[in-house]
Structure 1
Amino acid sequence: MIKPVRQCLNSWCHYSLSNINIKCKSNFSINFAGGDMTSDAGVALWKEFMDSIGFSRMAKETFSAPCSLKTYDDADLLEQKLLMLLCGYDTDDEADHLAHDPMLRLLLGKKRLASQPTMSRFAARLDEDSIRQLEKVNRALLRLAYQRKHPKNIVLDVDTTLLPTYGEQEGGAYVHHYDAVGFHPIAVFDGLTGDLVRIGLRKGNHYCGKDADKFMKPVLEAYDHDEPGTNVLLRGDSGLAMPTLYDLVESYDYRYVIRLKQNPRLMKNVQDLCDEVAAEAARSDETHFVRYCEFPYKAQSWSRERRVVCKIELHKREEQSLFPDSLMFVVTNLTAPMQEVIAAYCKRGAMENFFKEAKNAFAFTHMSSRNFVTNANRLWIAALAYNIFNLFRRFCLNRKWQSYRAHELRLRLMKIAGRVTRHANKTIFKLCSSCPYQETFRQAHMRILSLVA
Structure 2
Amino acid sequence: MTNCTLNRKVKKRSIQINFNGGDVSGIGGVELLRAADDRLGLCKAACRLLPDPRDRAGITHQWEALFRQRIYGIAAGFADLNDHRQLRHDAALQCAVGALEPMGSASTLCRMEAVASQMPPSESRKMVFQMHELILQTFIESHDKPPKSLVLDFDGTDSRVYGQQEGRSYSSHYGGYAFLPLYVYCGSHLLVSYLRPVNRTDSYHSAAVLSLLVKGLRAHWPDVKIVFRGDAGFYRPLLLSWCERHDVRYIIGYRSNEVLLRECQTTINTLDTAWHWLEHYEADLPSIKHFLDIDYQAGSWRQSRRIVAKVEHNGIGPNQRFIVTDLGGDADQLYSQVYCERGTMENRHKELQMGLFADRTSCSAWWSNQLRVMFSSLAYVLWQSVRQVGLAGTTLAKAQVWTLRQRLINIGAVVLRNTRRIELRLSSASLEKSNFMLALQRLQAT
How far apart are residue 22 of structure 1 and its match?
4.8
The one-letter amino acid paired with 1:45 is L
- State which of 58, 71, 85 in structure 2 corresponds to 1:82: 71
Q: Cα 1:23–1:303, aligned 2, differ >3 Å: closer, same or farther?
A: farther
How far apart are residue 47 of structure 1 and its match?
0.3
3-state secondary structure, aligned to 2:407: helix
Q: Cα 1:303–1:117, aligned 2, differ >3 Å: closer, same or farther?
A: farther
- State which of 128, 133, 136 in structure 1 corresponds to 2:125: 128
**Structure 2: how far apart are the matches of 1:66 and 1:296?**
57
The one-letter amino acid paired with 1:431 is L
Mapping of 1:47-126 within 5 angstroms? 47-59=34-46, 62-69=48-55, 71=59, 72-110=61-99, 111-126=101-116
Q: Does 1:340 align with 2:369?
A: no
How far apart are residue 278 of structure 1 and its match?
2.5
Mapping of 1:316-331 within 5 angstroms? 317=315, 323-324=317-318, 326-331=319-324
**Structure 2: how far apart are the matches of 1:391 and 1:149?**
17
**Structure 2: how far apart are the matches of 1:232 and 1:123?**
35
* Range moving further from structure 2, 364-373 or 45-54: 45-54
Contact kept, 8 Å, 2:43 with 2:67, in 1: the verdict is no
3-state secondary structure, aligned to 2:150: strand
Contact kept, 8 Å, 1:298 with 1:306, in 2: the verdict is yes
Which residue number in structure 2 is paired with residue 43 of structure 1? Answer: 30
Contact kept, 8 Å, 2:184 with 2:193, in 1: the verdict is yes
Q: Does 1:409 align with 2:404?
A: yes
Contact kept, 8 Å, 1:63 with 1:75, in 2: the verdict is no
> What CA deviation, in whole Å up to 9, does each residue of 1:195-229 have, x standing for no partner?
11112111121111233212221112112222232
**Structure 2: how far apart are the matches of 1:314 and 1:178?**
29
Contact kept, 8 Å, 1:92 with 1:119, in 2: the verdict is yes
How far apart are residue 249 of structure 1 and its match?
2.3
Contact kept, 8 Å, 1:64 with 1:75, in 2: the verdict is no
Note the residue ranges of structure 2 that are not aligned, 5 or more in a row: 117-123
Mapping of 1:264-279 within 5 angstroms? 264-279=258-273
Contact kept, 8 Å, 1:95 with 1:115, in 2: the verdict is yes
**Structure 1: how far apart are the matches of 2:374 and 2:245?**
28
Percent identity of equivalent pairs: 25
Contact kept, 8 Å, 1:243 with 1:303, in 2: the verdict is no
Q: How many correspondences in the alignment? A: 426
Which residue number in structure 1 is paired with residue 151 of structure 2? Answer: 155
Which residue number in structure 2 is paired with residue 299 of structure 1? Answer: 298
- State which of 14, 21, 36 in structure 1 corresponds to 2:6: 21
TM-score (normalised: structure 2): 0.90
Which residue number in structure 2 is paired with residue 229 of structure 1? Answer: 223
Which residue number in structure 1 is paired with residue 119 of structure 2? Answer: none
Q: Cα 1:96–1:310, aligned 2, differ >3 Å: closer, same or farther?
A: same
> What CA deviation, in whole Å up to 9, does each residue of 1:421-450 have, x standing for no partner?
235411111111222221111111221133
Q: Cα 1:416–1:366, aligned 2, differ >3 Å: closer, same or farther?
A: same
Which residue number in structure 2 is paired with residue 3 of structure 1? Answer: none
3-state secondary structure, aligned to 2:395: helix
Note the residue ranges of structure 1 that are not aligned, 5 or more in a row: 1-11
Q: Does 1:384 align with 2:378?
A: yes
3-state secondary structure, aligned to 1:42: helix
Contact kept, 8 Å, 2:146 with 2:224, in 1: the verdict is no
**Structure 1: how far apart are the matches of 2:405 and 2:168?**
32
* Range moving further from structure 2, 270-279 or 112-121: 270-279
**Structure 2: how far apart are the matches of 1:332 and 1:438?**
48
Q: Does 1:311 align with 2:307?
A: no
**Structure 2: how far apart are the matches of 1:28 and 1:152?**
62
- State which of 410, 424, 427 in structure 2 corresponds to 1:429: 424
Q: Cα 1:241–1:437, aligned 2, differ >3 Å: closer, same or farther?
A: same
Which residue number in structure 1 is paired with residue 120 of structure 2? Answer: none
